[in-house]
Every structure is written in structure tokens, then in C-alpha cells.
Amino acid sequence: MILLTAAPARIPSPSVDWFSILPAIALFAAAIIIVLGRSLIRHDPRVTHAGLFTAIAGVAASAIFTGIQWSFVHSDGPYQAMGGTVAVDGFTVFVQTVILGATLLALLISAGYLRRESLEGAEYYALMLCSATGMMLMASANDFITIFLALEILSISLYVLAAFDRRRLTSQEAGLKYFLLGSFSSAVFLYGIALVYGATGTTNLTGIARFLSQTVLLHDGVLLVGIALLLVGLGFKVAAAPFHMWTPDVYQGAPTPVTAFMAAATKAAAFAAILRIFVGAFSSFSVDWRPEIWGLAVLSLLVGSIAAVVQTDVKRMLAYQSISHAGFILIGVEAASLRGTAAALYYVCVYAVMATGAFAVVMVVARRGDDRHSLSDYRGLAAARPVLAGLLTLFLLAQAGVPLTGGFIAKLGVFSAAVDAGQYWLALIGMLAAVIGAFVYLRIVLAMFAPEEGEVATAESPIRVDGGTATALTIAAAAILFLGIVPGIVLDFARHATQLLAR
């Protein structure tokens, strides 16, 4: 209606500030180089190696650009570019850093995996970088159109990656399932955008926030339905119950490094969008969306942790637990406060590390074929491979929220935010869900350290840890202890990031 009555105006062409999306461009450029190299040089096996190095170089370049952005934001304050569709602020920088870290770890554990499964192909790295490009854009997106584009870029690459292990049926199933449900959720998300646009007349997040703070909607039904649909679409991406149905199957079926990447980086990007949209744009409607997030959080916590209890497949347990971790992060979102946003950001960062670490060990233990995921495959692991078992224990205890690991500080953060916001019940439910979660993790730990007599699995093929995975595991273990013992630096970063939100 607005469009029809408005006078025909010149569409302003925005000035393009390439610098604002340079981190994403760096990743995408690396992906293009890999694809080009692959198509020009066909039969040289060194291409795969070169692909890995190009990918890592791309991540490094992207990290450098992100660092420069941070120094700009730090000195000159946050700003918007590309006609307000891209925001360069502390929030962007923080989420981009997390995504880059998760991508780096995923790349490192992928190399050995691809070699082991004879899947070597530079396309894999290109796809992963493409997906990461989408995530980087999502972190900085300040407009629904940009968010949708980013969402599609990251998703389409992930669909292919999930099905990358062509020979394994479960991988194909994972890809197909993820694709079908994912495109469905994208459609729902798009419809949500349309409704919000209809209600507010803009797709720009800053514009929406301004519109809603200046206008009283007499009939806000369209907007509320729009918000709900947006939540459905994003809830799917972060694997929050009740939109979690795909998670166990896809996480279990996808190649394990892809699972790690999906769990760590996708969650970070999607939560960045949730925080920017809900805590940012719809802050004046928090009375309406907070109960919805409350419900999502509680459902995710309960479904994730309780369903994990009955699993016997370790990869599937971790998949269910990723649902409950989404619930913990949603506790931070629900608070709708600076403290809550900072806590959610910190949780996303910690989760990226501990999920990648745990899935890396799962990948190693699965051995060739990527199918030894059952709890019995972990029996007696501590006796056979003490260091590996110790590392997995560290990552699992971190996920359980045991002190002196990053997981504790992350949980402390979201619970603090909930208590600060007066949500005592939500905090209590979260803590009790953590206890159920601990049961699941301890089952795995018990299997490794204290197998029942005569239950020690006889290792027919030895477990091999390649250099890349060893590096990734070392980085992840150091990071999780660092985030737990001296969390101050990253906590302050997250807090600054929240305060430096572009408005």
C-alpha cells in the first residue's frame, strides 16, 4: 500500500564500501582460486594439498581483515555500509572471529578425514569456504535481504557438504534431508521477511527498529506472525526444538568434519542473526517474542538432553546435545539484555571450540568408513589411547559445564543473564538440563575409563591421528582451558562487541 501511494522516487544507488565485506570476499576469493586451480590442473594430486593451503591462507587473510575492522570499530565506532545492508560493529567482528576459528579447525580436521576416506578433492575446501562466506555475511548483515542471501549461501554449500561422502548411504540421506527441510525453512523465513516488510515498510533492521520505536501499530498481527515465522526459520538453522527433527540424522550422517563445522559455525552465524533481529530490531516487541524464545529454550533443553540419554551412538548423543546447547544459548537471548547478548556470544564461541574438539575425536575413533560411533567403540579407549581419551573427556566435561573449562563460564554467563532478568525458573530448568546432559557425557567417559569387565573393545584397526587433527585438537584443548581459566579477555571482547552495536 505504501509503495502505491508514494511518489515515484529515484532509487538511490548506495556507495559500495568494499572494505566492509572484505573478510567475506577473502574467503570467497580463496574458494574461487581453489575451484579454478582444480579445473585447470586435473590430475596432479598436489592440487588437494594446495587447496587446503589456499583455504587456510584465505581464512588467515580474512582474519587479518577482520582484525583491521576491529581496530576501525574500536577507534571510530561502529558504522553501516552498502546502504545500510551491512553493519561493521563489534558484534560483526566477534562473530566473524568465531566463524573463522571454527572454519580453521574444521579445515584442519578435514584434511586427514578426506585422505582416510579416499574422498580427496579440492571442491570440499571450496564448498566449506563458500559456506563460511555466507556465515561471514550473515554476521555482518543488517538487512533482511542480506540475511536471506547469506542464509542461502551458507546453506546450499552445506547441503552438498553433508552429502559429500558419496559412497555412504547415510551421508546421502543426510544431505537430502537437510536440503528438503532446509529449503522449507528458508521459505518460511522468507515469508516472515515479507510479513515484517508488510508491517514496517522496510527490510533494514535499523529501519525496522526506528519505525517500531516511533510508531504505534494499531494492528500488529502481521508483524507478530512475521516475527514468529522468522523465529521458525532461524530456529531450524540453530537446531532449536521443536525445529530440530533433522538434527540427529543429519549430524550423524554427514561426514564428521562437516558435522563439526555445522555445529560450530552454523550455530554461531544463525545466532548472530537471531540476536541482531530480535534483541536488535525487535527490541521494542520483546514482550511478545520473549515468551516464544522462552518456550524454544525450554523445549530445546529438555528434548536435547532427555533424548540424548537413550542414545547408544556417540555422534547422535552429541547431535542431541547440540540441541540442548542451542537451548542454553537461547536462555541468553531470552534475557533481551546486554548481559544476555554478551553471554550468548560467549557461549557460541565456547561451543564452537568444544563441539569441534569433541567431533574431531569422534572422527578419529570412527576410523575408516566413519561408522564406528557406538558407545561400545569407546570402551577401554583410555587404556589404549590415554591422550585421546583425556582430550575427549575434557571436551565432554566442558560441554557438561564443569568448572575451569570454558563451558562453565559460558553456562554461568547465560544463567547470570537469566537471573538478572528475573527468569529464575528458566535458569533452574537450564541447570537441571545440564545435570541430565552431564549424565550423557559421563556415560561416554565411563565407557572410556571404566569399561565393564570383558567389555573392552578389541581394536581390529588401529586409531590414527593425523597431523592436522592433532593440531586442531591441541588448539581446541588449549582454547577450552584458556576460556575457562582466564576468560576475562574474551568476555570483555564479547561485552564490547555488544555495546558497539551499530544503530
Query: What residue ranges bind other proteins (CB under 8 A)?
Result: 342, 397, 402-404, 408-409, 412-413, 415-416, 419-420, 424, 427-428, 431-432, 434-435, 438-439, 442-443, 445-446, 449-450, 452, 487-488, 491-492, 495
Nearest distance in Å: CB 390, other proteins: 9
Nearest distance in Å: CB 370, other proteins: 29
In whole angstroms, give the CA distance from residue 277 to residue 230: 9
Smaller CB distance to other proteins: residue 199 or 434?
Answer: 434
Smaller CB distance to other proteins: residue 194 or 338?
Answer: 338
Residue type, 275: L
Per 3-state DSSP, the chain is made up of helix, strand and coil in percentages (nearest 5) of 75, 0, 20
Smaller CB distance to other proteins: residue 104 or 445?
Answer: 445
**Placement of cell 566413519 in the chain:** 370
**Placement of cell 593440531 in the chain:** 471
Smaller CB distance to other proteins: residue 44 or 492?
Answer: 492
Q: Where are the beta strands (DSSP E) in 106-248?
A: none
- Sequence-distant (≥ 6) Cβ neighbours of residue 221 within 8 angstroms: none
Neighbours of 201 (CB within 10 A): 15
Grid cell listed for 152: 542461502
| C-beta separation of 340 from 414 below 8 A | yes
Nearest distance in Å: CB 71, other proteins: 22
Smaller CB distance to other proteins: residue 111 or 275?
Answer: 275
| C-beta separation of 324 from 300 below 8 A | yes
Nearest distance in Å: CB 70, other proteins: 18
Smaller CB distance to other proteins: residue 64 or 404?
Answer: 404
Query: Helix crossing, 406-420 with 386-400: angle to 10°?
Result: 0
Smaller CB distance to other proteins: residue 210 or 496?
Answer: 496
Collapse the DSSP code of 338 into the 3-class scheme (helix H, G, I; strand E, B; otherwise coil) and give the result.
Answer: helix
Nearest distance in Å: CB 327, other proteins: 15
Nearest distance in Å: CB 436, other proteins: 8
Nearest distance in Å: CB 72, other proteins: 24
In whole angstroms, give the CA distance from residue 406 to residue 256: 23
Nearest distance in Å: CB 23, other proteins: 26
Smaller CB distance to other proteins: residue 277 or 388?
Answer: 388
Q: What angle is formed at CA 449 by the lines to CA 446 and CA 450, rounded to 5 degrees? A: 65
Query: Helix crossing, 338-366 with 488-499: angle to 10°?
Result: 130
In whole angstroms, give the CA distance from residue 140 to residue 62: 14
